Structure 1
Amino acid sequence: MAKVRDQKLYVTVPSLFRCPISMDVMRSPVSLCTGVTYDRASIQHWLDSGHDTCPATMQVLPSKDFIPNLTLHRLIRLWLLSSSSSSSAEPPSPSSSADHLRPLLRQIQTSDDNVPGILSKIAEFAKKSGENRRSLAAFPGFDSAVVRALAGSNSLIDVAENAIYLLGSVFRENGKSTGERIRKLILDAREQCFDAMIFVLRNGSLKSKIETVKVLEFLACDFQSSKSISEACGLLSLLASFLKDGGEEINDAVLSLLGVVSVTHSAKVELVSSGVVEVVTKLLRACSAATAERCLRMLAVLATCAEGRAAMAEEPSCAAAVVERITKASKAAAADAVAVLWSLCCLCRNVKVRDEVAKRNGVVVVLLVMQRGWEEHVRSMCVDLIKVLKGACKNGLGLELGCYDTKTTHIKPC
């Protein structure tokens, strides 16, 4: 009997009923112009403290007025009445209990005091288990709290690194809907967030640098987000510098990111000016197969601009390194290699590069590649290459190529 008397009642609170600031059930829900609803006392305290942003979205408020959310108020009242008469529910797991998180998140949302210590505790909580990370991802207001901490890290490396870890381990690993929400929050506050990420890339541990690069790639989900990342002041040049003396893990992460965010002509020109073609060529000749594929992707991206093609033509071993890798690469990477060779030999008609490729048995290599089966545009590039390279071969291969007629237009000079 004593055992029964000691039991506690547990009620699961719908996340919709919690105030994103206090994490408690809202007594008087009111909505800002951003559409986010808060408890009146919490949001009033936030605004009276001098803030002019919506805590959940980080958007600057054009108006600080709010209106009562009467529908939600009625729903909460009905829920409270039904909960008071219901029986006990299953107790939450100690590791994922809202009681453990609520005070920490309240502090990080509403105060700048001891943010390093608070964020460190949350990061330790996340490291304990995947269940903890899923709980954090679903916890109301957690996403905005982490973004706020990152944006306000103010050269505090511990805060920035822990925020990056949480963004990577909690949001990047926990589904599409969570990812879309965190992307919007970061991109809305991109100047401050990108500054903090650049600070980590310059001063953080190797592990934090790699995680930052992965978070940036996670954010680059479309053209506009990729463009925003590439335009962050000094970011592309900084990333390019890692390729000169970085290890394989960070090289892979950087190459993958650069292949995604280099969507504008100015971004490609900045990378070419940073010496990426020379560095990637050296990597291509000595790296693992996985890294080589990322190198070929990077070169294929740069080959779509005139500056990139010129830099590759001037790099003595670039074309040769591409030829050496093409037959051993995956289908996607081989297509990138074909695009690079076609850009240099056919689009630019660079005689020096053409002769170099021909010396390396280029005709035979391209014929071998063609046997893999391709989409029409890749096959067209291969046929163009064979025509050009055959003309450069001193002894020829006696191939009858007159039946092939191509109109390769997928790469246009810019």
Structure 2
Amino acid sequence: MESGESRRGELIDAIRESIRGICGLPDCRSVFRKVGSNLTRRIKLLSPLFEELKDVNEEDEEGEGEEKGSSDRGGRGAGEEGLEGFELLKSALDDAKVLLESVTQGSKLYQAFQGDKTALKFQETTERIEDALNKIPYADLNISEEVREQIELVHAQFRRAKGRNDSLDLQLVMDLDIARKEEDPDSAMLKRLSEKLQLRTIDDLKKESLAIHELVISCGGNPGDCFEKMTSLLKKLKDCVLQESPDGNQPEVDKEPMKHRSPIIPDDFRCPISLELMRDPVIVSTGQTYERSCIQRWLDAGHKTCPKTQQTLFHTALTPNYVLKSLIALWCESNGVELPEKNRTSRGKNSGRGVSECDRAAIDALLEKLAIGNADQQRAAAGELRLLAKRNADNRVCIAEAGAIPLLVELMSSPDSRTQEHAVTGLLNLSINEGNKSAIVNAGAIPDIVRVLKTGSMEARENAAATLFSLSVIDENKVAIGAAGAIPALIRLLCEGTPRGKKDAATAIFNLSIYQGNKARAIRAGIVEPLMRLLKDVGGGMMDESLALLAILASHPEGKTSISEAEPIAILVEVMRTGSLRNRENAVAILWSLCSSDAEQLRIAKEHNAEETLRELSESGTDRAKRKAGTLLEMLQRINSSSSS
């Protein structure tokens, strides 16, 4: 490989890593959360381009020397001009990561006082990224139409952002100035500041104090005149928080001493955050148990760690601890202690409007059986949850918020096939809700769903395929599902399933193949042969799905080769002649992909009298079909002219 190509490959890898690093940063909770989130979102949208370029580079390396066309596919993109855009983008993304880290991890007060400077840095970073995107030679890159369209949209977003000046909130600037100067600022203004700066509790203020201390150390003990401003304002905010809530959201165990006759509450029954007796204990991913309302407030504040162990949470799902809840109830009954009345604001506030009291009670009872019931009870409970999740949208929200998702994920490993079916179908029904899709993936469901797809009963396999399709609506899930080995199992279902199962498998593969890397996985797993069989089976009812899938796979270099080897021309010409409008469009698109880079396929199309059908299609087909048919006719006319000469 030439040095230019080698350098471009290195830059593509480095840019991919930069994008991943930026996407992995915690959510920005500072005064720059809006501009920071917008920049992160735009950078994330660059990912498909560089993932596809990575795949193209690997294909070029594998095929180097095998065909002449592959050796010069990079064109000017491999030269110095082509490298300039990648170099500039890599540098801009590295600086963007440093900037985003500074506003997600540093002192919030320091960022507020340095607001104009930080806003200018965001503006300069956006301009540098947009300038770099201008210098990337997209015309010389071997990328699909879908990715090319997306990158044009992203580029337009950066262009628009470049023309905007995102300065700090004017009200915030005024409040900061007044709060700094006045000895006794207005409490309403201080409360407004604590909200905007995300310094609402004593815990928040302690972290801010630590961040200021670390800032002083990093500045060699000389942070400048803003140090006094920050410490003075921090004290005023602390006084305001304590005045609003005397406990400052922090437990003060001795504030209300227990009556002399009150029994001592076992430590295991107390929430580690509030130190109060738990009424609704839930388990986080580290295995620690907390009172639901307390840990939910912690998570809502943007924390990603377990408060007790400081370990990073793998996911934020809360699983009810029914065993502990039962023990607490028994202890309360034995000691004459009244269990704290359950506050309905936790789950009912968001989802209770459309969920009947009967359904809510049923959901709680079913989750208890899922958690601590025997095998028969778990199977029955999973089956009922499956039906409740299917019933209406409010149930789907309530079931997920009650903590059902991690329990259903665990049940997919059950040795009982019927339990497995209920669990995966329950997740399928829950995934209809957009918010639940991320919760299912965060609970680690994808590998378990793929395992059910490979080894479960036919019903479980088909519903697993439908679940993967539902989850793959989110772009980043396409990559994870493909990497988990789903595509070979979906192809097997495409061959063995019932008519409904085959359609579920085909739909899932189609959606996954929007990501270029999954196209290669499907082709290498041998998808073309079964698709051709289904295409030729006129009464099988799979012609629409087969043509749509072949059309998207034909845009991949390996796909063209594999489809050409299956000798598809005769059936494609027949579909172009007699098929539905949509199928004729897909058939001519496949034929165009095959013939545009292979004169032999064009000659075969001519032998099958494709010209007459193409003329008709160029007049009566869809807009896309007309364009493809017109191009193919021009190619055939060139062949005719060559023959005459």
Quickly name the TM-score band, shorter chain normalised: 0.5 to 0.7
| 1:177-213 C-alpha deviation (Å, 9 max, x unpaired) | xx21210112223xx4122212222232222221111
Structure 1 residue aligned with 2:460: 208
Whole-angstrom CA distance in 2 between matches of 1:273 and 1:115:
40
Q: 1:363 aligns with which of 595, 605, 611?
A: 611
Deviation at 1:153, TM superposition (A): 3.5
Residue type matched to 2:442 in 1?
Answer: D
Contact 1:147–1:163 (CA under 8 A) maintained in structure 2: no
Partner of residue 184 from structure 1, selected from 419, 430, 438: 438
**Residue type of the alignment partner of 2:435:** R
Amino acid at match of 1:211: N
Task: Name 2:515's counterpart in structure 1.
Answer: 264
**Residues 380, 140 of structure 1: CA spacing in aligned structure 2 closer, same or farther, 3 A cutoff?**
closer
Aligned equivalent of 2:306: 63
Deviation at 1:285, TM superposition (A): 0.7
* Residue 282 of structure 1, CA deviation: 1.5
- Of the three residues 160, 165, 173, the one matched with 2:425 is 165
- SS for the counterpart of 2:492 is helix
Calculate percent identity across the aligned residue pairs: 18
Greater RCO, CA 8 A, separation 6+:
1
User: What whole-Å deviation, never above 9, does each CA across 1:79-130 have from its counterpart, x for those lacking one?
Assistant: 9xxxxxxxxxxxx979x4433332222453xx35536623523423654896
Superposition CA RMSD, Å: 4.0
Q: Which has the higher helix share?
A: 2
Does the 8 Å CA contact 1:137/1:143 hold for their aligned counterparts?
no
- Contact 1:272 / 1:307 at 8 angstroms: preserved in 2? yes
Q: Distance in 1 between matches of 2:386 and 2:412?
A: 19
Please say if 1:344 is aligned against 2:608.
no
User: Is the 8 Å Cα contact of residues 220 and 260 (structure 1) preserved in structure 2?
Assistant: yes
Selected match of 2:635 from 385, 388, 396: 388
C-alpha distance after superposition, 1:266-307 (max 9, x if no partner): 322221122211221111011448511111111111111111
Q: Secondary structure at the match of 2:598?
A: coil
User: How far 1:372 sits from its partner (Å)?
Assistant: 2.9
Q: CA deviation at 1:167?
A: 2.5
The offset of 1:158, in angstroms, is 3.7
Residue 307 of structure 2 aligns to a residue whose secondary structure is coil
Instruction: Name the CA shift for 1:112/1:195 in 2 (closer, same or farther; >3 Å).
Output: farther
**1:52 and 1:61 in contact (8 A); partners too:** no
CA distance in 2, matches of 1:146, 1:246: 27
1:312 alignment partner, one of 538, 563, 575: 563
2:408 counterpart residue number: 149
- Cα distance between partner residues in 2 of 1:206 and 1:287: 24
Q: 1:222 to 1:49 in 2, by over 3 A?
A: closer
1:364 deviation in Å? 1.5
Q: Identify if the C-alpha distance between structure 1 residues 78 and 268 changes in structure 2 by more than 3 Å, giving closer, same or farther.
A: closer
**What is the alpha-carbon distance in structure 1 between the residues aligned to residue 564 and residue 497 of structure 2?**
25
Between the aligned partners of 2:573 and 2:403, the Cα distance in structure 1 is 48
Whole-angstrom distance in 1 between the partners of 2:540 and 2:585: 15
Distance across 2 between alignment mates of 1:78 and 1:236: 44
For residue 579 of structure 2, what is the aligned residue in structure 1? 329
Residue 199 of structure 1 aligns to a residue whose secondary structure is helix
Alignment partner, residue 98 of structure 1: 360
Partner of 2:324: none
Indicate which of 508, 515, 526 corresponds to 1:275: 526
- Equivalent residue for 1:41? 278
Amino acid at match of 1:195: P
Aligned AA (1:62) = T
Alpha-carbon distance between aligned partners in 2 of 1:50 and 1:167, rounded to the nearest angstrom: 23
Q: Distance in 2 between matches of 1:331 and 1:161?
A: 38
> Retained in 2: the 8 A contact 1:52–1:60?
no
Aligned-partner residue type, residue 464 of structure 2: T
Instruction: Look up the equivalent residue of 2:287 and give its one-letter code.
Output: G
Q: 1:139 aligns with which of 398, 401, 406?
A: 398
Q: Distance between the aligned counterparts of 1:263 and 1:271, measured in 2?
A: 11
Distance across 2 between alignment mates of 1:223 and 1:78 = 35
Contact 1:366 1:382 in 2 (8 A): yes
Paired with 1:204 and 1:229, the residues of 2 have a C-alpha distance of: 17
Counterpart in the other structure of 2:268: none
Report the CA distance shift for 1:372/1:43 in structure 2 as closer, same or farther (over 3 A): farther
Partners of 1:41 and 1:245 lie apart in 2 by 51
111-120 or 156-165, larger mean C-alpha shift: 111-120
- Decide whether the 8 Å contact of 1:319 with 1:341 is kept in 2: yes
Distance in structure 2 (CA, Å) of the matches to 1:46 and 1:126: 23
1:13 corresponds to which residue?
none
Say if 1:144 and 1:185, in contact at 8 Å, map to a contact too. Answer: no
Contact kept, 8 Å, 1:230 with 1:261, in 2: the verdict is yes
What are the Cα deviations for residues 193-240 of structure 1, in whole angstroms up to 9, with x where unaligned? Answer: 1222122222322222211111111111132222222221x2111111
Shift, 1:259, TM fit: 0.8
Cα distance in structure 1, aligned partners of 2:434 and 2:459: 24
Cα separation, partners in 2 of 1:382 and 1:43, compared to 1, 3 Å: same
SS for the counterpart of 2:546 is helix
TM-superposed CA distance for 1:245, in Å, is 3.6
1:127-151 Cα shifts (integer Å, max 9, x gaps): 48964x5563242545741343214
Deviation, structure 1 residue 368 = 2.2
The 3-state SS of whatever aligns with 1:154 is coil
Q: What one-letter code is carried by the residue in structure 1 that aligns with 2:436?
A: I
1:289–1:384 CA distance, 2 compared to 1 (3 A): farther
